[in-house]
Amino acid sequence: MALSYRGVCRGASLILLYGKRPVGVKASLCTPRLASTKSRHYSPSQARSGIGRSVVSGLKWANEKYERFLQRRFPRFYVIYHTFMRGFRLLFQDGKEVRRIVSRMLSERIEHQNLPYRDMEKIRQVRKDLIKAIPLVILSIPPFANYVVFILMYLYPRQLLIRHFWTPQQLVEFRGVYHAQRAQHHWAIVKGMESTSTSVQDTRLKSRLTELCSKVRSGVHPVVSDVHAVRTLFSGPPLGIKRMYADQMRHLCALLFLTPRLPGFWIGRRLNSHAFELMQLDRAIVRLGLHQLNDTELREACYVRGLNPDRLSSGQCREWLTQWLQFSTHLKGTQAISSRLLIKTDVLNPLCEKHLNLM
C-alpha cells in the first residue's frame, strides 16, 4: 500500500524528535533536507550535567576575578581570605581521608594499633583539631554571632583557630609560643624528681636518679643508657602515674598540651591514654622506618614528643628522634606509660635543647 505525503512527513518528524525510524518507513522516502539533518538525543541527566559544568565554570571564573581584585586592592585582606579558603580545603581533605581510614578499618577489621603510621597520625591530628574547633562552632550558632566570631578569629587566631587556618609564618610563631609555655614546666618536674628520689629504697637506683637529675640541672646531655638505668622506678612508687602527686601530673599535662584543670583521677587517666597513644605511634614509626618520614613528618613527630624543631636541621631532628625510639622500644608494661611521660619528656627534651642552645 502506498504511503501518503502526510505519513512520510510524520515519520520524518518522529525521526527528528526521538532519534529512531518508525517501522515501515524508509530513509529514501524522506525529503533530502530532512534526511540529511543529524539528530541528537539528550537525556535529562546529561542536560543537568552540562548546566552544572557551566555553573561551576562561571563560579570559578568569578572567584578568580574576585581574588585578583582583592590581591590588587586589599593585599592584607587577601592573605586572610586566601588562608581561610585554603584552610577549608585542607580540612575537607582531612575529613575525607579520615573517613576512608575508618571505612577501611571497619571493612578489613583492622585494629587501631595495627594501622600504618601516617593513618594513625592523621586520626590523632584530626581528632585534636575537632576538639579545639568545637567551642568556636558553638559560639557561632546564635543569629548574627558569626560576625563576632570572625572578629575574634582575626584578633585571637592562635587561641581560636586550628592549624589549617594559620599562615606559614603564624605556624612557626605559634609553635614557638606553645613550646615556650611548656618549657616553663621542665625544671619544675626535674626538681620534683630530685625531691622524690629521697623516698627511693634501693640505694643504687636512688644514686642513679640523683645523678641523672644533677646532669640535667648542670646542662650535661645524658645518654639513653643513663635513662634506661632508672626506668624501673616508673612502674610503681614513687614515680608511677598512679603514685604521683596531682601537682606533678598537672605539670605533665602542660607539657603534653592537655588541660591541667581537671580532678586528679581524671588527669591520671588522660596521661595514661596519651602515653599509650605515643607508644602506638612510636611502634608504627619503627614498622615504617624512620628514613621513610619526609621533613614535615619528621619535624611534626619531634614537636609532638616535646622538641621544638623550627631551629634545627633535619639531621638533628632525625638524630633526636632516633634516640627517642631507642629508649621507647625497650619499655615494657607500666614503664611504657610512666617513664615515657616523665623521663623522656622532662629529662631528654630540656637537656637536648639546652645542649643545642635552644632554651
pLDDT digits (tens, 9 = 90+) for 168-207: 889 889 999 998 888 888 888 888 888 888 888 888 988 8
195 with 307, same domain: the answer is yes
Q: Within a domain: residue 41?
A: no
| Cα-Cα-Cα-Cα dihedral sign, residues 195, 201, 207, 209 | negative
Judgement on whether residues 162 and 216 belong to the same structural domain of the protein: no
- Residue range 325-354: mean pLDDT, rounded: 56
Both 229 and 299 in one domain: the answer is yes
What does the CA dihedral 156, 159, 162, 166 come to, rounded to 10 degrees?
A: 40
State CA 37 to chain mean position distance: 59
Q: Provide the pLDDT confidence category of residue 104 given band limits of 50, 70 and 90.
A: very high
Query: Per the structure block, which three cell numbers stand in for 223?
Result: 645518654
Whether residue 338 has pLDDT greater than 60? no
More confident residue, 355 or 319: 319
Are residues 161 and 187 located together in one domain of the fold? no
**Region 271-291 average pLDDT:** 90
Q: Say whether both 91 and 206 belong to one domain.
A: no
Q: Are residues 12 and 150 in the same domain?
A: no
User: Where is mean pLDDT largest: 1-5, 13-17, 48-52, 56-60?
Assistant: 56-60
Looking at the domain assignment, is residue 60 inside a domain?
Answer: no
Between residues 39 and 118, which one has the greater pLDDT? 118
Residue 22 is which amino acid? Answer: P
Percentage of the chain modeled with pLDDT above 90: 19
Task: Tell me: do 9 and 150 sit in the same domain.
Answer: no
Note whether 212 and 322 are same-domain residues.
Answer: yes
> Hey, which of 12-16, 26-30, 34-38, 318-322 has the most confident mean pLDDT?
318-322
Do both 200 and 144 map to the same domain? no
Give the count of domains, the chain.
Answer: 3
Which residues constitute the domain of residue 98? 74-166
Q: Is residue 115 part of a domain?
A: yes
Q: Are residue 148 and residue 293 in the same domain, yes or no?
A: no
In a domain, 120, yes or no: yes
Tell me if 175 is assigned to some domain.
no
Residue 109 covered by a domain: yes
Q: What is the pLDDT of residues 105-158, one digit of tens each?
A: 999 999 999 999 999 999 999 999 988 888 877 877 787 776 777 788 888 899
Distance from C-alpha of 231 to C-alpha of 278, rounded to nearest angstrom: 17
Q: Are residues 115 and 213 in the same domain?
A: no
CA distances from 194 to 14, 78, 152, 204 (A): 96, 53, 43, 15
Clarify whether residues 209 and 324 are in a common domain: yes
Contacts of 163 (CB under 8 A, 6+ apart): 129, 171
User: What number is the average pLDDT over the span 297-319?
Assistant: 89
Interval 83-110 mean pLDDT: 90
Domain boundary among 166, 201, 235: 166
The crossing angle, in degrees rounded to 10, of helices 75-108 and 44-73 is: 140
Residue 235 has pLDDT above 90, yes or no: no
Q: Which of 42-46, 106-110, 297-301 has the lowest mean pLDDT?
A: 42-46
Is the pTM for the entire model greater than 0.75? no
